Amino acid sequence: MVSVNRVIIGGNLTRDPELRYTPDGTAVTTFTVAISRRWKTKDGEAREETCFVDVVAMGRQAEICGEYLNKGRAVIVDGRLTQRTWETESGERRSKIEVRANRVHFLGPPPQAVPLPLEEVVEREEVEEEFVDDLPF
């Protein structure tokens, strides 16, 4: 049996990313991407639906996302699906599917165009080869 777990999504951030650090100092950034689909019905009526997908980036890539991404910015995320489970304070078990980013590509100019310093561009390219297996929390 062959298993493949790869997803590529493109859309716009619904809010500014949240950057935090694990107890061992690993950067973790979470953000949500809105992916819209537009079509016309047979009657010519315009329709639209939007899917909201949570994304997790880690390490240096997480720091760069936290620093340079903001609400409305267009991105393409290449990653894999993961399922996270937890227990609420009331004892209920919850779970959700999210995308663990292997690569985050920033599209278009940032809303407040600030050029990246050359060393940041080089580091971001090096991060794209990084593959993180598991969230440390």
Domains identified in the chain and CATH numbers:
7-127 (2.40.50.140)
Beta-sheet strands, E only, within the chain: 7-13, 18-21, 27-40, 46-58, 74-87, 93-107
Query: Pairing mode, if any, of strands 46-58 and 18-21?
Result: unpaired
Regions of the chain short of the pLDDT cut 70:
110-137
pLDDT of res. 108: 80
Paired with 85 in beta bridges are 95
86 token code pair: 């937890």
Give 37-66 pLDDT, tens digit per residue. 998 989 989 999 999 999 999 999 999 999
The structure's pTM equals 0.74
